[in-house]
Amino acid sequence: MSTAPQLHHLNARDNRSKRRSVQTLSTGIAALDALLPAGGWPKYGLIEINVQGVYTDPMDALLPALTGLSREGRWLAMVTPPHYARVRINTNPGMDTSSVLQINPHRGRSGLWTLESLMRAGHCRVVMAWPGCRTELMEMRLARAATLGRSLGILFRQGEPQACTSGCEVRLSVERNTGGKAVFLLDSDGRKVSGIDLPQETSGSRLSGRSG
């Protein structure tokens, strides 16, 4: 039996008490909106998705929102994406693939510089990246760039979450379980705070921006 619903039940009251008046964007998944502290993805800023297991695909948690954002008139940028992410985004029903941009930085060019520039410039609605390293300074710079550029930065990390001081407004872990996949909200120490089982069919849902 999955522990995700149990964790969510135990922590639902704590999450409601942490919600604040910030601009949010619905994830397109009601249970995931309820899990997140502000009631959805931050409209602008930085989030972190920790992926547990080589064969775990985290895109189901993001595709409903990304599909809507692809129609806002700015780029959805992927920096050196893995094969599964390219396929899921470019074949998802309703996705405006003309807004999808793949970037492979030249050898020797700083990956941090590329991400920071894309987020800060304001041409990208979403910037997704799969960095192989992390530093507190890096995430603070990226968070500031995303806010200035009014973009949503999504950092995917493979493996166990690490304890850190992070510039990310939301930290999640996605992992496989007996029912499919589960999503867990993480604290700054990388510990699971609350969780849900991810619905099997999430693509193409409508979403809306809102405050609070």
- N-to-C CA span, the chain: 33
pTM of the model: 0.83
CA separation for the pair 71, 12 (Å, rounded) = 32
Residues above pLDDT 90, as percent of the chain: 58
Tell me what pLDDT residue 170 has.
Answer: 94
Q: Cα–Cα distances in Å, from 159 out to 53, 55, 61, 141?
A: 7, 12, 17, 23
Mean pLDDT for the chain overall: 83
So where are the chain's domains?
4-11+23-172+187-203
**Do 22 and 9 contact (CB within 8 A), yes or no?**
no
Report the C-alpha gap between 25 and 39 in whole angstroms: 8
- Number of CB atoms found within 10 A of residue 201's CB: 7
**Contact 51/174 with Cβ under 8 angstroms?**
yes
CATH dotted code for 4-11+23-172+187-203: 3.40.50.300
Query: Is-contact 36 186, C-beta < 8 A?
Result: no
Q: What's the DSSP call for residue 97?
A: G
Q: CA nearest 38: which of 148, 185, 188?
A: 185
Q: What is the pLDDT of residue 25?
A: 94
Q: What confidence tens digit (pLDDT) does each residue in 37-53 have?
A: 999 999 999 999 999 88
Place of tokens 């999504």: 154
pLDDT tens per residue across span 103-145: 988 765 577 889 999 999 999 999 999 987 777 788 899 999 9
User: Which residues in the chain belong to E strands, given as ranges?
Assistant: 23-25, 41-42, 45-51, 75-79, 100-103, 124-129, 152-158, 170-177, 180-186, 192-197, 209-211
Tokens at 134, concatenated: 């992390």
Q: Which amino acid is at 70?
A: S
Which residues fall within 8 angstroms of residue 87, CB to CB, at 6 or more apart? none
Say if residue 54's pLDDT is above 60: yes
